[in-house]
Structure 1
Amino acid sequence: MNDPMPMPDWNHIRAFLTTVEQGSLSAAARTLGLTQPTLSRQVAALEADLGVLLFERIGRSLSLTGAGQELLVSVRAMGQAAHGLSLAASGQSQSVDGLVRIAAMDVIATYVLPDVFKRLQKLAPKLQIEIVASNSISDLMRREADIAIRHVAPTQPELISHQCPDFSAHLYAATSYLDRYGRPTDFADVRDARFIGFANAGDLLPELTARGLPVTSDNFGWQTSSAAIAWQLVREGLGIGLMGKMIADRTPDVEMVLPTFTPIPAPIWLTTHRELHTSRRIRLVFDVLVEMLG
C-alpha cells in the first residue's frame, strides 16, 4: 500500500491562494508581508510537495495550469474554513469593543453592509461601527477609515488588501417597467429604452456599445453620481440600470434584462492598515467582511 502524501504546509498553500487572488507574486508578497523571493520559494515548495506545476509564466504575468485550476477549488475551501476558524476564535470573547470606521461605496453601504452588521452584532455586541458612505477613495493613510471597500487595489506598502469576487454588473429593470414597455428579447429591443446613468453617461456608453447595445446618450433620461440613488430609480420603474448581482438578488420586483449581455466587471478590494495584525476589533470586522463579501 502506498504511503499517503504528507499534508502540505499551510503557509505554502496560503502563498498559492494569495498569489491567485492578487494576480501577481509582488502583490501577494505585499499582502502577506513577505519578500517576493520568500513567497516564490513557498509556491515552489508547494509544487514540489504535490509534484505538479501550478503556474506558467507568460511574459511577466502568471497563468494557472490545469493542475493549478483543480487545486484552487480545494484551496479556496480551505481558505474559507480558515476564515471561519478565525471568526469562531474571535467570537469566543464578547469583550471586543471600540470604534471601527468602514469606508464603502454608497450602494454597498446601503444594501450589503446591514447584513454584515447583523453578523457583527452577534459576535461582538459592544463593537461600534461608523460608515463612511462615499464613491470616492477614502485615504486610509490619513485615518479617514480603518477599512475601505474599494474598486482598486492599494499601492502603498503600509496597507494590506484582500480581493473579493468581482462585483459584476448586469442590466436590470423593475417588473413594473417591463410590464409597461415589454421585455427585450434581443439587443435591438433596447434601442428606444430609457436608461439610468450612474455618474456620467459618457463613461458608461463605451462599455454598453462595446457589448453590442445600440444606445446613445439620448437613452439616458436619468443620471446621478450616486449608485444607491440610481438603483432606487430602477426599483421605481424609471428605466434600465446596471447593478451587481449580489445586490439585485436581494431586491424584490426587479428582473435581469437581456441575460446574454456580457456583465461589466468591477473588482472589489478590502483594504486596511497593517494594524490589522494587532487590533482585534479591526481583524474581526475585516474577517467578517471577507466572509460575507466572498
Structure 2
Amino acid sequence: MNEQNFNWQLIPTFLAVFEQGSLMGAARQLGSSQPTMGRHVAELETQLGTVLFERTGRGLAPTAAAHRLAEAARTMETGAHALLRSVSLTRNAVSGTVRISASQPVACVLLPPLLARMRLELPEIQIELVASNAVSNLLRREADIAVRMVQPEQSALVARRIGRVTIGACAHRSYLLRCGTPHHVSDLAQHDLIGNDRGEDISRGMATMGMAVAQERFVCRTDDLLAYWAAVRAGMGVGFVADYLRREDRDVLPLLPSMAIPPLPVWLVVHREIRGNARIRAVFDVLARELPPLL
C-alpha cells in the first residue's frame, strides 16, 4: 500500500459500515447511497489489500482486519474532532486590551462589578478604564468604547442607545434630621444646596422650574461628580444625583418625587472602523447587555 496515495476519506464510510453492519445502514447514517457505500468499501479493501467484511445473509460481518482497523480509525476520528474543537476555540477566542471611557460615577460605581463578571466570560481580555467627565475623542482613538450621556454627531462613530439615567433631588438622613425635609420645590429656597462650580447644569435646571439660584446660594460647589456625591453623603445639603448612585447609600433619601428632572440618555459609542474587531465587539456586547439593568 502506498501511504502517500491512501484515501483517508474512505475511513468515515468504513466506520459507518462497521458500526451499522450493512451498507444500507451506513448510507442512512451518512446521508449517502448504498451503491456509494459499496464502492467505498471495495476501494478501501483494494488499497489495504485485505478483506474487511464477509457478506452473510444477515449483512456484513467484519473480519479480524476490520476490527484492527476500526480501533485505529476511532483513534483517528477522536483526534480529528479534538483538532476541530481546538481550531474553533482559537478562531472564536478574543484576547487583548480594550480601553473604555466613562464618567466618574459610571466608571467607579457601575462598571467595576460588571467588569468583574465580564472577566469570567472573557478571561483573555484586559480593560483600561478611563474615569473622566470629559468626552473622550474616539476619532483620535483615546478610547475604544465610550459610555456617553450625549449622542455623538460624527459619522465615523457608531452609537447605540442602551438606556437612560434618571436624576432626583436627595439628601442624607443626617441633614434632614438637622434641617427638615422639603416637601415642595419652593421649599428648597430655605435649604442648603449643593451645586456646580463652573458648570451650570443645576442652576440652569432650577431656573427652568422657576427658581433663579445665585451661585452664593450653593453651600458647596464642585464639578467633580464623585466629590459632589461625597458632599451629599456627608450631609452638607440637598443635591441632585443619579438614582443609580443614590441607591449606593441607604442613608441618602430621595426627595421631591414630583420634581421633573429630564433623564439623560446613555449611549455606547465605538469608532466605525473598529466595531468589527473581535475583542472590542465582545466587550461592547457585554456592556450593551449588562449596563441597562444597572441604570
Compute the TM-score of the two structures, normalised by the length of structure 2.
0.63
Q: How far off its partner does 1:193 sit?
A: 1.2
From 256, 278, 281, the counterpart of 2:276: 278
Contact 1:148 1:271 (8 Å CA) reproduced: yes
Contact 2:194 2:228 (8 Å CA) reproduced: yes
CA distance in 2, matches of 1:183, 1:201: 26
Larger Rg, first or second structure (1 or 2): 2
Who is 1:242 aligned against? Answer: 240
CA distance in 2, matches of 1:238, 1:144: 36
CA distance in 1, matches of 2:144, 2:259: 37
Who is 2:58 aligned against? Answer: none
From 186, 194, 199, the counterpart of 1:188: 186
Instruction: Kindly provide the amino acid, as one letter, of the partner of residue 139 in structure 1.
Output: N
Contact 1:192 1:219 (8 Å CA) reproduced: no
SS of the counterpart of 2:100?
A: strand
Instruction: Kindly provide the amino acid, as one letter, of the partner of residue 144 in structure 1.
Output: E
Number of equivalences: 204
Q: How far off its partner does 1:192 sit?
A: 2.2
Q: How far off its partner does 1:130 sit?
A: 0.8
Segments of 5+ residues of structure 2 without an aligned counterpart are 1-88
From 228, 231, 237, the counterpart of 1:230: 228
Contact 1:176 1:237 (8 Å CA) reproduced: yes
Instruction: Kindly provide the amino acid, as one letter, of the partner of residue 207 in structure 1.
Output: G
User: Which structure 2 residues correspond to residues 37-76 of structure 1 after superposition, within 5 A?
Assistant: none
Distance 1:113 1:199, change over 3 A: farther
Compute the TM-score of the two structures, normalised by the length of structure 1.
0.64
Q: How far off its partner does 1:92 sit?
A: 11
User: Which structure 2 residues correspond to residues 92-171 of structure 1 after superposition, within 5 A?
Assistant: 95-171=93-169
Instruction: Kindly provide the amino acid, as one letter, of the partner of residue 251 in structure 1.
Output: D
CA distance in 1, matches of 2:90, 2:171: 44
Q: Residues 153-184 of structure 1: CA distance to partner in whole angstroms, max 9, x if unpaired? A: 12222211111222122111111111211111
CA distance in 2, matches of 1:261, 1:93: 52
Contact 2:195 2:203 (8 Å CA) reproduced: no
Identity in percent: 36
Distance 1:251 1:213, change over 3 A: farther
From 256, 259, 264, the counterpart of 2:257: 259
Distance 1:288 1:92, change over 3 A: farther
Q: How far off its partner does 1:244 sit?
A: 1.4
CA distance in 1, matches of 2:210, 2:113: 36
Q: CA RMSD in A?
A: 2.3
SS of the counterpart of 2:99?
A: strand
CA distance in 2, matches of 1:219, 1:288: 43
Q: How far off its partner does 1:275 sit?
A: 4.2
Distance 1:201 1:103, change over 3 A: closer
Distance 1:291 1:222, change over 3 A: same
Distance 1:273 1:249, change over 3 A: same
Instruction: Kindly provide the amino acid, as one letter, of the partner of residue 191 in structure 1.
Output: A
Who is 1:289 aligned against? Answer: 287
Q: How far off its partner does 1:142 sit?
A: 1.0
Segments of 5+ residues of structure 1 without an aligned counterpart are 1-90
Q: Residues 49-71 of structure 1: CA distance to partner in whole angstroms, max 9, x if unpaired? A: xxxxxxxxxxxxxxxxxxxxxxx
